[in-house]
A and B are shown apart, each in its own frame.
Chain A
């Protein structure tokens, strides 16, 4: 990971030399639809449901209805870029924001139990585009096509919440008072991504463009680490002291789990181009 970050900054420094040759600054914003693999997180929630349902059903001869309600769906992502274009080539910095989440949930008249995981990824990378086609289609309008690739780190922030509350609990049969559980754990990790993409740009007066982009993000997830001081290992929800779920959250602990943002990316947006001002 350290070598990758070093390579990234070397490329960035090389790119800083390009302004002397560039024809114009370009920047823009796109909004798109993405899907995310998130395999480890999906397994985490799936195992959470399986373990709890098994323990409760075995002890109470019932059909416990704790289930997954949201499973890290794809969603909107944001893409902003700032670069330099010189004839055929364009290079610059790109920022992407992804977010998704999952939930296991059960509620009834007496209370609520849920496990939420939400992840956000801030991707900051270098991009390169090769504008291989530029065709005037009307006065002041021009269509251009490009193929490109972007790469860089994704800085992930995750939040895992455990919540269990009873609305009107009686005192426990063994004399204990009910204590609400509302534990939250922050996770951090750093991924590395590579995204090839192709796109079309409809230019107006070579200044404003409407962009359509399609690509696929390949993500190499880093291991998540806990950021908080919590040390609860097992949560009990009754005085029977039967553990219904097990979590471990020592500070700085590393898990063999990652937030994998791999998936399709489709976006539309606007772009702007301004000529480079040459100093006299």
Chain B
């Protein structure tokens, strides 16, 4: 065959091969959408931590500090035993009650506590928003050690100052338990409430009856804590 013919044939085939490229799609449709505003969520456990970063929960409740946006009210906590994937207890609370309490069925030990802030759509109209992957909401997780210590006692006692005068004194409750708002002192059998004090002592006098129970109640600033109460019997007989 003519060599020139083969030469030009190869050039033609090469031209066809090199220029036969598949169609490339290049046009796009980018839509400008305003991004959602950042919203700060803060939930902080009010308890000390150990060297492992685990929160020490001394009693039967956990106290929190909340900083949440206005439209978030309901908060869900889930408690998981150590190394388990399913939550064995769920607690519901809201922004105005920054605590959760549990009882005897929560044994002392290590747990994981998770908190889900219920979410709401950002309503930006973005792809992520409409697909359900863009919302205001957050998940928190903490490692905690529940100790279930006994409820503190006021350990009410007295010192005789004179024949009819006594000084009552008592122990300030563990601050991990609660912050005392006031102490109220009662003559349980006779006069009822005798007074209110911020101190851990109070001077009382025996009435004409010569004996009574004096009762001291500690009221806490945390509204979910019931008052602690202690009593002592004093008699002149």
Contact = CB atoms under 8 A, between A and B. Distances in A.
B5 A166 contact: no
A169 B130 contact: no
Interface string A77-100: 010101000000000000101011
Interface stretch (A103-111, A194-202, A217-225, A246-254): A103-111
Contacts of A113: 127
Interface string A169-191: 11111100010000000000000
Per DSSP, chain A at the interface is strand
A80 B19 CA distance: 12
A66 B27 CA distance: 13
A108 B31 contact: yes
Interface residues of A, number: 57
Contact of A27 (B9, B131, B135): B9
B15 A29 contact: yes
A130 interface: no
B133 A238 contact: yes
B21 A99 contact: yes
Interface in A1-42: 25, 27-29, 31
Contacts of B21: 99
A29 B16 CA distance: 7
Interface in A123-182: 164, 166, 168-174, 178
B127 A110 contact: yes
B37 interface: no
A245 to B, nearest CB: 13
A107 to B, nearest CB: 5
Band of interface residues on B: 35 or more
Contacts of B127: 106-108, 110-113, 164, 166, 237
Contacts of A264: none
Contacts of A105: 27-29
B150 interface: no
Contacts of A78: 16, 19-20
Interface string B104-129: 00000000000000010000111111
B189 to A, nearest CB: 60
A75 interface: yes
A233 interface: no
B4 interface: yes
B221 interface: no
B23 A173 contact: no
Contacts of B28: 69, 105, 107
A57 B125 CA distance: 10
B134 A110 contact: yes
Per DSSP, chain B at the interface is loop
Nearest to B130: A60
A69 B27 contact: yes
Contacts of B19: 31, 76, 78
B12 A118 contact: no
B39 interface: no
Contacts of A102: 25
Interface of A: 25, 27-29, 31, 56, 59-60, 62, 64-67, 69-70, 75-76, 78, 80, 82, 95, 97, 99-103, 105-113, 116, 118-120, 164, 166, 168-174, 178, 237-240, 272, 274, 277
16 contacts: A25-B5, A29-B16, A78-B19, A80-B13, A97-B16, A101-B23, A107-B28, A108-B31, A108-B126, A110-B124, A110-B126, A120-B22, A164-B127, A173-B132, A272-B8, A272-B12
Given A69-B28, A111-B127, 14 more contacts: A29-B12, A59-B130, A65-B29, A76-B19, A80-B15, A99-B20, A110-B128, A110-B129, A118-B23, A166-B127, A166-B131, A238-B131, A277-B1, A277-B2
